[in-house]
């Protein structure tokens, strides 16, 4: 019944609170620059930022987040691990540098996450080392692990982690896609404590090699967003819905991202306002 209600809400254009269990909505990489935070703050309450882009401490981004009542989620994989997935010899010093700009902005830092660790060669032991250190440093913040879908059955989730999810793109409707549901259930079963929650990565970009090859057009991504919101709403263990991605992707320049699609953003805004109450 709740799933049907969400579908009706999104179609009708109303924007009340969609559910009690989904608390956060925002875009991956929207925290990488202040303009992106400002452009999305009216309907989001979180934004992820790559720690590797914050050598100067990201003062403009944190200021924009504070002004827009958006909390930052800091991605840490490259802070702790080299390109082969091994811990940097100086990972503790690299983490100490992150703390220099996070600690003064802790009031608007929701937490941290590790992006696709197993996909990038990070062992279970090394993942636990970094996650345990982050949680010991900031015990009151959330800590998440987002894994790539081929490795949902391989990743070992440390007990220090609060949120677990995976990313897969080019799926028209995760509610009816048996392989997507199986992958979600697999990684959900990898949680190591009963208090760990889930997050859902909404497909909010388009590239011919993935989406076009799956038969999805650019305009289809409006309905795809709706479908992901319905999927998340139907699962009470889901705490957050994160849309990938807002800004252009420098490593995939041919991709279309949400910033350039007002039709997608109109749908995302309805979903986001329903979650955030903005």
pLDDT at 20: 84
| Percent of the chain at pLDDT exceeding 90 | 91
Structure token digits, residue 184: 């979600």
CATH of the domain at 138: 3.20.20.80
Q: Which of the 8 DSSP states describes residue 260?
A: G
Helices (H), the chain: 2-12, 34-40, 59-68, 77-80, 91-102, 124-137, 178-189, 220-233, 262-276
Residue 123 clears pLDDT 70, i.e. is over it? yes
Per-residue pLDDT tens over the stretch 232-253: 999 999 999 999 999 999 999 9
Name the packing angle between helices 2-12 and 220-233 (round to 10°): 150
Residue 6 clears pLDDT 80, i.e. is over it? no
Residues contacting 209, CB < 8 A, separation 6+:
none
Q: From the CB of residue 186, how many other CB atoms can be counted at a distance below 10 Å?
A: 16
> 66: domain range?
2-276
Q: Which residues pair with 164 in a beta bridge?
A: 145, 198
**Domain total for the chain?**
1
264 vs 20: which has the higher pLDDT: 264
Distance CA 116, CA 210 (A): 18
55 pLDDT band, cuts 50/70/90, is confident
Residue 203 clears pLDDT 50, i.e. is over it? yes
Per-residue pLDDT tens over the stretch 64-122: 999 999 999 999 999 999 999 999 999 999 999 999 999 999 999 999 999 999 999 99
Residue 12 clears pLDDT 50, i.e. is over it? no
Per-residue pLDDT tens over the stretch 28-50: 999 999 999 999 999 999 999 99
**Dihedral of CA 107/23/174/158: which sign?**
positive
14 pLDDT band, cuts 50/70/90, is very low
Average pLDDT value over all residues in the chain: 94
Contact 18, 46 (CB under 8 A): no
């Amino acid at each position: 019944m709740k799933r049907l209600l969400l579908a009706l809400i999104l179609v009708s254009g109303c924007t009340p609170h969609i559910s009690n269990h989904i608390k956060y909505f925002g875009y991956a990489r929207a925290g990488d620059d202040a303009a992106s935070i400002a452009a999305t703050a009216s309907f989001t309450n979180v934004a992820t930022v790559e720690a590797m882009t914050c050598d100067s401490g990201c003062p403009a981004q944190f200021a924009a987040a504070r002004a827009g009542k958006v909390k930052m989620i800091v991605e840490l994989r490259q802070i702790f691990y080299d390109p082969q997935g091994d811990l940097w010899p100086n990972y503790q010093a690299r983490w100490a540098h992150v703390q220099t700009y996070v600690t003064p902005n802790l009031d608007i830092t929701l937490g941290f996450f590790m992006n696709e660790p197993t996909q990038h060669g990070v062992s279970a032991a090394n993942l636990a080392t970094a996650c345990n250190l982050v949680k010991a440093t900031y015990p009151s913040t959330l800590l998440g692990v987002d894994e790539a879908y081929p490795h949902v059955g391989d990743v070992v989730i440390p007990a220090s982690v609060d949120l677990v999810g995976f990313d897969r793109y080019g799926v028209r409707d995760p509610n009816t896609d048996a392989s997507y549901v199986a992958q979600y259930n697999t990684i959900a079963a990898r949680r190591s404590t009963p208090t760990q929650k889930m997050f859902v990565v909404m497909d909010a970009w388009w590239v011919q090699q993935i989406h076009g090859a799956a038969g999805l057009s650019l305009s289809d991504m409006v309905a795809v967003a709706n479908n992901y919101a319905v999927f998340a709403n139907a699962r009470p263990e889901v705490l957050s819905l994160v849309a990938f991605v807002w800004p252009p992707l420098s490593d995939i320049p041919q991709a279309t991202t949400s910033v350039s699609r007002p039709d997608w953003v109109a749908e995302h805004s309805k979903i986001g306002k329903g979650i955030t109450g903005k």
